[in-house]
Amino acid sequence: MKGSLAQVWRKVQGCGDWEGLVSPSLHPLLREEIVRYGELVSACYKAFELDSSSSRYLSCKYGKGSMFEEVGMGGSGYDVTRYVYVTAPDIMTSIPSGSCRGRWVGYVAVASDDMTDRLGRRDILVTFRGTVTSQEWVANLMSSLTPARLDPGDPRPEVQVESGFLGLYTSNECGGSRFGLESCREQLLCEISRLLRKYKGEEVSISIAGHSMGSSLAHLLAYDISELGLNHRAPSSTVPVTVFSYGGPRVGNLGFKQRCEELGVKVLRVVNVHDPVTKLPGVFLNENFRVLGNYELPWSCSCYSHVGVEVLLDFLDVKNPSCVHDLDAYISLVRCPREEGIIHEDGVVGNIFERVMSNVVGNFELCRLRRAASGMVDQFLVQSQGAEFLMDNNFLGWMNCLALYMLM
């Protein structure tokens, strides 16, 4: 592929499913874009306020006009147009009673005029951070598949997504919030619709980038925009929608994957082979466990499935196992690839997965998680004496518990 980014941007955004741009090696332009979008996601972490004594606790430390400058990205080429908040009832245990339960999860931005000239189009950007508490991850990964039903005119019950992620995307804030929150979904669809109207006379793209849990929200938003047809301009004109996923989990079933492909949603997944988050949910029931020979297994419709094209990385530092899921580590290795991504240390022994998970789940006591997951698995085994459990919607939730128990 020859030419400047402004000339070939559609291919870099996934037109042609990145054929010839990922394998046998990353094309330089695509590499630069993966790094650039990753850094735009990292701004979410740098700007997120975790000091409980701050008046901006669980929000962004800075105003929209100064956020990029404050995090050292004044030359990003984007202007923030809206901050995005998400709620997760029943799992926000670290928030004092009576206070706002909305958490800042990312932002919507639009390319400046100068950046538009460089990119070859007006880029509407949405970024999402990942989880910052273990409660969020445990609640999400101990859930099950549920129909997305984001288009009321065509609910498509066969399109199923992980219910924890869907809840984060669609749940409304309780009354009394200082932010006056709508659901994450409502905030995003409203702002994206406004920007599409504003730039209706220009060449436009929608780029959605997320890390970890933020990747799941990116998937859901991309699907939602496309299913509702918000990116349709004329009978033969469609605004491309592209997801850049970093260390993201599976989001839905095969029906979700197939529908995303039908709608033209493009997903580029940057994955570290040692990152346990990318194996969940669906450690057991996933796209690799749908058929046996030529026989399609009865639970195939309930198997989780990754969406899109994979960019595979290989890095592990046994001295700091949590780096396997670290966004900065992802970005660094894409920017400066090395022949061997696994860093070993002589004399270090032990369960790497346990050390990784102990970092992923933060301050949770592993023994408490083991007991909780074990109890749920025991309950599952009691309830599953008949073969009909294989078709139950709760089956995937129990399998997630079992997977979490085994990883720990």
User: Three-state secondary structure along 59-117?
Assistant: CECCCCCCHHHHCCCCCCCEEEEEEEEEECCCCCCCCCCCCCCEEEEEEEEEECHHHHH
Q: Give the per-residue pLDDT at 377.
A: 40
- 325 tagged catalytic: yes
Convert the pLDDT of each residue in 84-98 to its tens digit: 998 765 444 444 444
Peptide bond into 89 cis (omega under 30): no
Average pLDDT, the chain: 80
Name the most confidently modeled range: 73-82, 169-178, 392-401: 73-82
The sheet that has 252-253: what strands, in order across it?
145-147, 160-162, 252-253, 304-305
- Three-class secondary structure of residue 228 per DSSP: helix
CA distance 19 to 145: 31
Are the C-beta atoms of residues 308 and 266 closer than 8 Å to each other?
A: yes
**Under 8 Å CB-to-CB from 93, ≥6 apart: which residues?**
135
| pLDDT (average), residues 18-44 | 96
Of 212, 226, 245, 302, which one is the catalytic site residue?
212
- 212 tagged catalytic: yes
Helix H or strand E encompassing 232: strand 232-234
Question: Is the predicted pLDDT of residue 361 greater than 50, yes or no?
Answer: no
| pLDDT (average), residues 210-221 | 96
CA distance 295 to 154: 30
pTM score = 0.83
Q: Give the per-residue pLDDT at 102.
A: 80
The total number of residues shown for the chain amounts to 408
At 33, give phi and psi (nearest 5°). -70, -35
| pLDDT (average), residues 42-60 | 94
What sections of 28-183 are H helices per DSSP? 28-47, 67-70, 113-119, 134-141, 163-170
Of 211, 275, 302, 358, which one is the catalytic site residue?
275
In angstroms, the Cα distances linking 354 to 47, 54, 406 are 30, 34, 10
Q: Give the per-residue pLDDT at 303.
A: 83
Question: Is the predicted pLDDT of residue 238 greater than 80, yes or no?
Answer: yes
% of the chain at pLDDT higher than 90: 57
Of 30, 32, 14, the residue nearest 267 (C-alpha): 14
Of 76, 89, 87, the residue nearest 44 (C-alpha): 76
| pLDDT (average), residues 125-144 | 73
Of 211, 274, 306, 325, which one is the catalytic site residue?
325
Q: Phi/psi class of residue 293: alpha, beta or left (left: φ > 0; alpha: ψ in -120 to 50)?
A: left
Q: Give the per-residue pLDDT at 137.
A: 59
- 113 tagged catalytic: no
